[in-house]
Amino acid sequence: MAAPLVRACGFCAVKLQRGGWCSKYVLISTNTFAFTIVRPTTVSPQSKPSPRKNDPKQWVGVVGLEIHAQIHSNTKLFSGARVQFSAPPNSLVSFFDASLPGTLPVINRRCVEAAVMTSLALNCSINKKSLFDRKHYFYADLPAGYQITQHRLPIAVNGSLSYSHLVGQKWNQAVVKTVRIKQIQLEQDSGKSLHDDTRKQTLIDLNRAGVALMEIVMEPDMSCGEEAAAAVRELQLILQALGTCQGNMAEGQLRVDANISVHQPGDPLGVRTEVKNINSARFLAKAIDFEIQRQIDVLVNGGVVHNETRTFDFKLGQTIPMRDKESLQDYRFIPEPNLPPLIVYDNESTPVNADPQQVINIDLIRKNLPELPSAKRTRLVDQYGILPEHSFVLVSEDGLTEYFVSVLQETKAEPKKVIGWVIKELLALLKHYSLTVSQSHISPSSLAELLNLLEMGVISSPAAKQVFLLMWKECDKSPQQIVKEQDLGLVQNEKILEEICQNVLDGHLEEVAAIKKGNKRVLNKLIGLVQKEMKGRADPIMVKTLLERKIS
């Protein structure tokens, strides 16, 4: 009797032919009475896998980023049309942007300077001679049919970006990581297409066509969403400090595409996918983590990752394949015939009789670079003795450093004390009400006044916190006023305090006994109870002294 060819998989009951493959197991042999089912670790339809392949924990993500940063300039890269967000459609379009025949590109000096500044800040080597190319493809928002970019020889290569990645249970340990910058190139932005499905038409707005972009390519040195998000946030801070890009992802000034693959350490890199349509650093982290997990799931289940472009749907929190999956594009790169090579100079190579208007000197630009975020953080730690994670927060929040310094100027309180107020109390309120530092209800002077009251012992620390909240709500009242009105002044009347202390001691004989035995920490509980009675206004030192005296 012929061996039955079909069996039900003993594990998932799917009917299998010999060699058949259900989601987890394969039927490899069968005879009349027995069949053998094995798990894919030993036999798989793909090549010989290692036993680790099934273990999701063994896979690591490999993430690279392609970032397009819109250069902050008055006019576009090759034409004199103005750059402005949210202008009426097609109101900022020159003949060149509309690609009318007979127009020619003329490079914008400010854009080259911005690219050089950014490249220097990212530790790149500047190519003193770089070239422009045409990248051809057809799309309605690209009227010329090509984009002018720098394909063969970009303006800068081989840089690095260091960023802090917060780890640990309380996110209080900062690990410094570095990602290599492959290159930075200048290129044109395209126009915008707005799809009107109701009337089945696409509307084209060319305001953005021709705006200068810096494409910053980061090597796949990152391994998860959080790292990528941290790198992007650091890049945003750098660009904003330089003034070369405003870095607002929501407004499209900074666009990030992620290239993601997974592999097992030691194995060659896996097939990568590209994820687009990410408009915040938070979504970037989500999209990357989702995609890494998706790829791991596919591979663990014996599937294959396809090289494709996916879009991030932030509502679902998932990446999904983009509708038009094109085959490999041939961009037909040719040198841009209307632009000579871009030459930048340094002190040595600047021609003697050069017109300074016509020459870009990278040494001069390097000299005039503003303070970068990393340098600022180090300086704040050295100058004020605050902790690195504090300076991290100060630099990350726009205007917070200036606020902090202003407060310090008007109070005798130590920086270490002030920083707590700025980072914990003030920032918490700002975040709660979604306000920027400049919109704070409490000015640096007011906070300084409050801290002075605290320093002088007029109020206690818990009381100060109450006053702070009231100051926020009643912006026009000074701290002294509030203290007076709410009667939050520190109580230092020994008689009153003694009475309260005695009451507390009488009511907690167990704790008293414990303290007498040597457990000093219980004293804090008693202090707390006294403060509770006094609504936090008792002089803490006096309370402690009194209690200790009474107990012993």
Question: Residues in the site for another protein, rule: CB under 8 A?
Answer: 101-107, 330, 332, 334, 337-340
Q: Which is nearer to another protein, 78 or 421 (CB)?
A: 78
**Sign, CA torsion 485/488/492/494:** positive
What is the sign of the dihedral through the CA atoms of 443, 444, 449 and 451? positive
- For 505-519, letters b (16+ CB in 10 Å) and e give beebeebbebbeeee
Phi-psi region of 252 (alpha: psi -120 to 50; beta: other; left: phi over 0): left
The nearer residue to another protein, 19 or 340, going by C-beta atoms, is 340
- C-alpha span between 537 and 231 (Å, rounded): 46
Q: Measured from the CB of residue 361, what is the shortest distance to another protein in angstroms? A: 19
CB of 105 to another protein, least distance (A): 7
Residue 139 Cβ vs another protein, minimum distance, rounded to whole Å: 18
Q: How many CB atoms lie within 10 A of CB 398?
A: 12
* Burial per residue of 353-378, b for 16 or more beta-carbon CB atoms within 10 angstroms, e otherwise: eeeeeeebbbebbeeeeeebbbebbe
**For residues 328 and 509, which CB has a smaller minimum distance to another protein in the complex?**
328
Query: 321 vs 341, which CB is nearer to another protein?
Result: 341
Residue number, 113 or 133, with CB nearest to another protein = 133
Please say which residue, 330 or 476, places its beta carbon nearer to another protein.
Answer: 330
Q: How far is the CB of 78 from another protein (least distance, A)?
A: 9
Choice between 144 and 238, CB closer to another protein? 144
Q: Which is nearer to another protein, 132 or 472 (CB)?
A: 132
Q: Are 291 and 275 in contact (CB under 8 A)?
A: yes
CB 385 within 8 A of CB 428: no
Calpha distance 424→432 (Å, rounded): 12
Q: How far apart are CB 333 and another protein at their closest, in Å?
A: 8
Nearest approach, Cβ of residue 106 and another protein (Å): 6
Nearer to another protein by Cβ, of 79 and 295: the residue is 79
Task: Tell me how far apart the alpha carbons of residues 268 and 220 are, in angstroms, rounded to a whole number.
Answer: 13
Give bridge partners of residue 148 from the DSSP assignment. 134
Give the DSSP per-residue string, 271-321.
Answer: --EEEEEE-SHHHHHHHHHHHHHHHHHHHHTT------EEEEETTTTEEEE
Minimal distance in Å, beta carbon 406 to another protein? 47
Assigned token pair, 478: 């000074």
Structure tokens at 299: 């591979």
- By beta-carbon proximity to another protein, the closer residue of 337 and 356 is 337
- C-beta of 211: minimal distance to another protein in Å? 19
Q: What angle do CA 251, 114, 83 make, to 5 degrees?
A: 45
- Comparing CB distances to another protein, the nearer of 144 and 453 is 144
> Rg of the chain over CA atoms, in angstroms?
32
Residue 142 Cβ vs another protein, minimum distance, rounded to whole Å: 17
Structure tokens at 304: 């294959």
What b/e string do you get for 431-451 counting C-beta neighbours within 10 Å, with b at 16 or more? eeeeeebeebbbebebbbbbb
Write down the least CB distance from residue 137 to another protein, Å. Answer: 13
Minimum Å distance from CB 306 to another protein?
A: 22
How many whole angstroms separate alpha carbon 157 and alpha carbon 184?
6
